[in-house]
Chains A and B, each alone.
Chain A
Amino acid sequence: MSMAEPMKLSDWIKRFTFYEILVGMKATMTVFVQRIVLRSRKAVTFQYPHEKRDLPGTYRGMIALLRYNDMTEKCVGCDLCEAACPSRVITVISDEVPGEPMKRFAKEYYMDMARCIFCGLCVKACPVDALAMTTEYEWSVYNKRDLRLNKDQLLALGDRNFPTREEKIEHQHHNVTFFNIGHQNLPPMDS
């Protein structure tokens, strides 16, 4: 309301009876009565450590390394995840599989999850679907170095979160294959 034009009588009455404030107080009281007296309304908040929110299947949590159903690692040490990572989380040190010169694997695999932005580009980049995002998020630690996960920890994450594993199919002769499985077989959504 501009101050130039004179106020109408109804506006004056509203001002002197605190009409707008009473409308607001009615709103809060309505919620209060619905919560306490009528019991028709529930709190929107969760008692977090005791009850947790249902997460969607596509939730981007901690990243895990996966295995095939014969418990061999999927990762072929190609370094594409390291190249895709925008915040340089991943360090891959790959090596030849002993006795099979055309096959490679990740001798060491580190993820500094303290830097991870959970963009999922590494999962997209992986040609053998060796990476997956879990729904784990309760990873507070006292020392940030504890968030630099090694290969064993990442594989344990995968074992914990994806109990059903992909079947290993050798597409080509094991001596000449480089990537041994097709792409984009994402882990099942309901796991």
Chain B
Amino acid sequence: MELMIFAGAALVKIAMVMIVVLLTVAFLTLAERKVLSWMQDRMGPMEVGPYGILQPIADGLKLFFKEDIIPSGANWLLFSLAPILSVVPALIGFAVIPYGPNQEMEIFGVTIKPFVITDINIGILYILAFASIGAYGIILGGWASNNKYSLLGGLRAAAQVISYELNIGLAIIGVIILSGSLSMVKIAEGQAGGFWHWYLFGGLQIVGFVVYVISAVAETNRLPFDLAEAESELVAGWMTEYSGMRFAFFFMAEYANMILVSCIAAVLFLGGYQSPFPHYIIEYLGFPGMKWVEAVVWFTVKVYFFLFLFFWIRATLPRLRYDQLMRFGWKVLLPLALANVLITSIVVYFVRQP
């Protein structure tokens, strides 16, 4: 009985998170086009619905009803597997993201945490592990298409994702040293009490933060690091031969990955759901029981800040050349991340002397 309640609560949480994430993915496509066009003196989608707000639905319907083409020279199994390998790791990472305070709730005698699907003690490691699997989707999709452009895009993506994953892993080590835990819930909890306790400011993880944000943009294959897609060079890179729902899966994976890395950045560096003030505003107003609402709002604001940053960078910067990308990743970001790890650990060692 207890197990059933626990499983039911978990399923409800998973359904909620998936609905929110997929809706966000759908409307991020619109938001991206709108923000880009506003920054470039254009209007963006205006036809479907008022100011084009129903455009994602139209796009989704179109992709859903499109003919599903598998090229004759393609490897059928891997060609079909690649979109799934791409989208599942992107969505599965949300399992450990705490999007509200670490409260506990009793339902029929069973204790559950309503604001995180599962609080495993290696949360960030789990996300990094699955993010690496996501790269397989790109590489296999590029190879299985039997297309030169796809293969080139897949190879570029392989090299790029591997290079920048390393930097992500090293950039967050500073935060892990400060928090002393790999659990996302514990990391977010450790930053309570105002923005000067966030690891970005309080932990002085500015270098780690910058390295993480740049590497996250590269990891999600977004501009200015979209060498794998590179529509002016490689048609659509590894997605060239994909159409219909398979293409939609790749698209969903890209945007879900954007949301995921934004969530990680918010939790690790900006305190996750923590208010930038010592207490939640709603507590000052006299409703301490409702503080989880404000916590979720703070988390959403921080995540959307990063998503907007992605659009903003995309609107501003041109694509890097391949050698520039590799040089930047290995010769600039990697030493910076290593130095950050070294200095953080030394400082933490001396500050926390017993």
Q: B40 to chain A: which residues have CB within 8 Å?
A: 28, 31
Q: Could you tell me the distance between the alpha carbons of A47 and B42 in the complex, rounded to whole angstroms? A: 10
Q: Is the CB of B312 within 8 A of A29?
A: yes
B38 within 8 Å of A by Cβ?
yes
**Minimum CB–CB distance for A18 against chain B, Å:** 8
- Measured CB to CB, the nearest residue on chain B to A32 is B39
Asked if residues B41 and A41 are in contact (CB atoms below 8 Å), the reply is yes
**In the bound complex, what is the Cα–Cα distance between A138 and B89 (angstroms)?**
49
Is chain A's interface secondary structure helix, strand, loop, or mixed overall? helix
Whether the Cβ atoms of B46 and A31 lie closer than 8 Å is: no
A45 B312 Cβ-Cβ under 8 A: no
Cα distance, A28 to B42, chains bound together (Å):
12
B309 to chain A: closest residue by CB: A25
Q: Which residues of A contact B313 (CB under 8 A)?
A: 25
B213 to chain A, nearest CB (A): 11
Complex alpha-carbon distance, A41 and B317, angstroms: 22
Q: Which residues in chain B, 305-323, are within 8 Å of chain A measured between CB atoms?
A: 312-313, 315-317
Q: Which residues of B contact A29 (CB under 8 A)?
A: 39, 312
Does A9 have its Cβ within 8 Å of any Cβ on chain B? Answer: no
In the bound complex, do residue A31 and residue B316 qualify as a contact, i.e. CB atoms below 8 Å apart? no
Q: Which of B38, B39, B46, B312 contacts A47 (CB 8 A)?
A: B46
Given A21-B317, A24-B317, decide whether A44 and B41 contact each other with a Cβ distance below 8 A: yes
Take A25-B312, A47-B46 as given contacts and tell me if A31 and B317 are in contact as well, using a CB distance cutoff of 8 Å. no
The interface size of chain B toward A, counting residues with CB under 8 Å, comes to: 14
- A27 surroundings in chain B (CB, below 8 A): 316
Q: Would B316 and A45 count as touching, CB distance under 8 A?
A: no
A35, closest chain B residue (CB): B38
- For A, the interface residue count at a CB cutoff of 8 angstroms equals 15
Contact indicator A28/B41 (Cβ below 8 Å): no
- From A24, A25, A44, B42 is in contact (CB under 8 Å) with A44
Contact call A45/B39, Cβ cutoff below 8 A: no
Q: Is B43 an interface residue (CB 8 A)?
A: yes
Are the C-beta atoms of A31 and B38 separated by less than 8 Å? Answer: yes
Residue of A nearest to B314 (CB): A28
Contacts of B43 in A (CB 8 A): 43, 45, 47
- Give A154-186 as 1s and 0s: 1 = Cβ < 8 Å from B's Cβ atoms: 000000000000000000000000000000000
A21-B42 in contact (CB<8A): no
A36 at the interface (CB under 8 A from B): yes
Q: Counting CB contacts under 8 A, is B338 at the interface?
A: no
Q: How far is the CA of A28 from the CA of B39 in the complex (A)?
A: 5
Given A21-B317, A24-B317, A47-B46, CB of A31 within 8 Å of CB of B41: yes
Shortest A1–chain B CB gap in Å is 16
Within 8 A of B (CB), among A28-87: 28-29, 31-32, 35-36, 41, 43-45, 47
- Given A28-B312, A32-B35; A45-B317 close (CB under 8 Å): no
* Residues of B contacting A25 in the complex (Cβ-Cβ under 8 angstroms): 312-313, 316
Q: Is the beta-carbon distance between B38 and A36 smaller than 8 angstroms? A: yes
Q: Across the interface, which residues of B come within 8 angstroms of A36, CB to CB?
A: 38
Please state if B316 and A24 are interface contacts (CB–CB under 8 Å). yes
Report which residue of B42, B313, B315 has the largest number of chain A beta carbons within 10 angstroms of its beta carbon: B315
Smallest CB gap from B46: residue in A: A47
Contact residues in A for B42 (Cβ distance below 8 Å): 43-45
A43-B43, A47-B46 known; A32 and B38 CB under 8 Å? yes
CB nearest neighbor in A for B43: A43
Report how far A35 CA is from B40 CA in the complex, Å.
10
Tell me, in angstroms, the Cα distance from A28 to B224 when the chains sit together.
Answer: 15
For A28, list chain B residues within 8 Å (CB).
39-40, 312, 315-316
Nearest CB in chain B: distance from A16 CB, A: 9
Q: Which residue of B lies closest to A31 (CB)?
A: B39
Interface contact A21-B38, CB-CB below 8 Å: no
Asked if B35 and A45 make an inter-chain contact with CB atoms under 8 angstroms apart, the answer reads no
Select from chain A the residue with minimum beta-carbon distance to B41.
A44
Cα A35 to Cα B38 with chains together (Å): 6
8 smallest CB-CB distances across A and B, nearest first, come from A28-B39, A24-B316, A43-B43, A35-B38, A28-B316, A28-B315, A32-B39, A44-B41
- Which chain B residues have a beta carbon within 8 Å of chain A's beta carbons? 35, 37-43, 46, 312-313, 315-317
Q: Could you name 5 residue pairs across A and B whose Cβ atoms are closer than 8 Å?
A: A21-B317, A28-B40, A31-B40, A32-B38, A44-B41
User: Can you name 6 extra interface pairs (CB under 8 A) apart from A24-B316, A45-B42, A47-B46?
Assistant: A28-B39, A28-B315, A31-B40, A41-B41, A43-B41, A43-B42
